[in-house]
């Protein structure tokens, strides 16, 4: 004899379409969460860098595991969606855009960790000389903001976000160029090692910002169905 | 009245399965071709760098268009395969692996161009000081070889290639660390700008090699069905 569950406790079985939407919504939530996580990692990496905070640097380096596990999980969920639901048209584009975004998020995680690793390696010294620290602080702030904006773009599925993020990204690029001008100027007095660190770190910020913009472009692709502009 | 084509000129119509295989084989050919192209771009970028060859630097910078067009085309063919054929199991994995590999190839193209752009910016100076040039020449050679090995791995669908490429990649990593030790040593006498250039260029080679290994990992995933090791 089987125990019958009262009808009131049995929800209507989900249709295939509803299952797909539910899975996709879960995926979008995870993507936004991962984008916020990369932003938090970058905030911590920047603080670790500017304040020679070894504990925070270690936190960023060890904390990458969580984000990478989340990315692996999202990647597998995308593949499962493709296998089990064989989505077409917009649904398919959405899954593909999600897969691209996962790749961007993984690299953002790596870039925040690269900065944390420089902070750890140079501890207890702050690798950035005092006179260029404000430029780096600004870059760090912009990079973090871009990650958060990418999260919001994912949540709101906002096709205009790509354009807005691209503008903020331009400021990051301009700051990177400014830093290189300072490093290469005659009056740079801090020697080779801080110059190399500064060049690499500014590159990491720049790449991090680029990936945040790429995510917003995927969102645009997803909503408009048009391939993102390069 | 319609003109009848003699039966001998009409091939049997392809089954859906045969169409898929034919499309996939075309995709694999294109991937291998793109991997060889990135290798060629990196060879040219390295020569432009080491010989202050402005024409070759320009060629790499303008030549990126061809590779990017090829990547866009492959990306669209992957999406089309997913839409029209709704592949499952190994076939699906193959298309997904191809999409990941396209992303890696695009970044390899960018990295070769970054090196060519430094060569162009510093022309007619060779940005790498004479005493470290052999290390850079070796890195350039290894990076190019890795791109070619990735192409061969794609063509042969060889799951063991990832392990072999990872070993060559370790040498690139070791050379990058060696370069940083030289740059940061007391007796570095070439000043800030060549040190910054050397640091960035060695990073670009390192990343290029990483992506070549990532492609070989995708091939492994494709053949064995097991997620690639990180």
Distance separating alpha carbons of residues B21 and B42, to the nearest angstrom:
32
Residue closest to B57 by CA, chosen among B121, B134, B142, B135: B121
pLDDT at B132: 93
Quick check: is A200 in a domain? yes
B65 → chain A, closest CA residue? A230
Distance separating alpha carbons of residues A193 and A126, to the nearest angstrom:
12
pLDDT in tens, A121-177: 999 999 999 989 999 999 999 999 999 999 999 999 887 788 889 888 999 999 999
pLDDT at A6: 54
The model carries a pTM of: 0.84
pLDDT at B3: 53
A91 → chain B, closest CA residue? B83
Instruction: Map A177-224 to HEC letters.
Output: HHHHHHHHCCCCCCCHHHHHHHHHHHHHHHHHHHHHHHHHHHHHHHHH
- Whether B162 and B217 have beta carbons less than 8 Å apart is answered as yes
Residue in A89, A192, A227 closest to B195 by CB: A192
Test mutation, A20, A184, A196, chain B, max B CBs within 10 A? A196
Distance separating alpha carbons of residues A182 and B129, to the nearest angstrom:
21
Widest pairwise Cα distance in chain B: 89
Structural domains of chain B, count: 1
Quick check: is B156 in a domain? yes
pLDDT at A85: 81
pLDDT at B229: 55
Quick check: is B5 in a domain? no
Q: Which stretches of chain B drop beneath a pLDDT of 70? A: 1-12, 225, 227-230
Quick check: is B35 in a domain? yes
Contact B79 A93 (CB under 8 A): yes
Quick check: is B61 in a domain? yes
Contact B192 A193 (CB under 8 A): no
Q: A157 by DSSP, 3-state: which?
A: coil
Alpha-carbon distance values, B67 to A179, A219, B39, B46, B64 (Å)? 31, 25, 11, 18, 5
Residue in B83, B188, B193 closest to A88 by CB: B83
Contact A100 B103 (CB under 8 A): yes
Q: B127 by DSSP, 3-state: which?
A: coil
Residue in B100, B103, B196 closest to A195 by CB: B196
Contact A88 B93 (CB under 8 A): no
pLDDT at B1: 45
pLDDT at B73: 94
pLDDT in tens, B137-180: 999 999 999 999 999 999 998 877 888 898 889 999 999 999 99
Quick check: is B70 in a domain? yes
pLDDT above 60 for A5: no
CATH code (residue A101): 1.20.58.220
pLDDT in tens, A173-214: 999 999 999 999 989 999 999 999 999 999 999 999 999 999
Distance separating alpha carbons of residues B109 and B103, to the nearest angstrom:
10
Quick check: is B11 in a domain? no
pLDDT at A76: 87
Contact B100 A100 (CB under 8 A): no
Is the ipTM here above 0.90?
no
List CB contacts (< 8 A) between B89 and chain A. Answer: 83
Sign of CA dihedral A226, B86, A30, A19: positive
A192 → chain B, closest CA residue? B192
Quick check: is A53 in a domain? yes
Distance separating alpha carbons of residues B195 and B58, to the nearest angstrom:
23
**pLDDT-based confidence at A227, cuts 50/70/90?**
low
Distance separating alpha carbons of residues A153 and A52, to the nearest angstrom:
33
Domain that holds residue B121: 16-224
Residue in A82, A183, A230 closest to B196 by CB: A183
| Mean of the per-residue pLDDT values of chain A | 89
- Chain B interface, Cβ < 8 Å to A: 68, 72, 79, 82-83, 86, 88-89, 92-93, 96, 99-100, 103, 180, 183-184, 188, 191-193, 195-196, 199-200, 203, 227, 230
Alpha-carbon distance values, B219 to A20, A62, A68, B76, B154 (Å)? 29, 29, 21, 20, 6
CA–CA–CA angle B93, B94, B95 (5° rounding): 95
Distance separating alpha carbons of residues B181 and A97, to the nearest angstrom:
41
- Rg of chain B on CA atoms, in Å: 21
CA–CA–CA angle A138, A143, A149 (5° rounding): 125
pLDDT at A219: 85
- Rg of chain A on CA atoms, in Å: 21
Alpha-carbon distance values, A20 to A27, A31, A85 (Å)? 10, 16, 7
> What is the count of residue pairs from A and B with beta carbons less than 8 Å apart?
64
- Whether B180 and B210 have beta carbons less than 8 Å apart is answered as no
- Chain A interface, Cβ < 8 Å to B: 68, 72, 79, 82-83, 86, 88-89, 92-93, 96, 99-100, 103, 180, 183-184, 188, 191-193, 195-196, 199-200, 203, 227, 230
**Cis bond leading into B124, ω under 30°?**
yes
């Amino acid at each position: 004899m089987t125990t019958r569950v009262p009808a009131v406790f049995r929800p209507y079985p989900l249709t295939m379409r509803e299952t797909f939407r539910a899975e996709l919504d879960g995926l979008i939530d995870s993507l936004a969460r991962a984008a916020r996580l990369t932003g938090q990692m970058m905030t911590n990496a920047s603080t670790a860098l500017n304040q020679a905070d070894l504990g925070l640097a270690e936190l960023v380096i060890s904390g990458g595991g969580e984000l990478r596990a989340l990315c692996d999980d999202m990647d597998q969920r995308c593949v499962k969606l493709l296998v089990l639901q064989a989505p077409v048209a917009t649904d398919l584009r959405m899954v593909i855009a999600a897969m691209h975004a996962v790749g961007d998020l993984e690299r953002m995680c790596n870039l925040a960790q690269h900065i944390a690793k420089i902070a750890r390696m140079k501890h207890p010294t702050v690798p950035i000389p005092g006179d260029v620290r404000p430029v780096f602080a600004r870059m760090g702030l912009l990079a973090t903001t871009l990650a958060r904006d990418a999260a919001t773009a994912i949540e709101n599925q906002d096709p205009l976000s790509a354009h807005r993020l691209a503008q903020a990204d331009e400021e990051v690029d301009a700051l990177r160029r400014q830093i290189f001008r300072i490093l290469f100027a005659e009056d740079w007095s801090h020697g080779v090692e801080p110059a190399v660190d500064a060049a690499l770190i500014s590159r990491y910020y720049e790449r991090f910002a680029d990936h945040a913009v790429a995510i917003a472009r995927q969102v645009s692709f997803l909503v408009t169905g048009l391939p993102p502009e390069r």
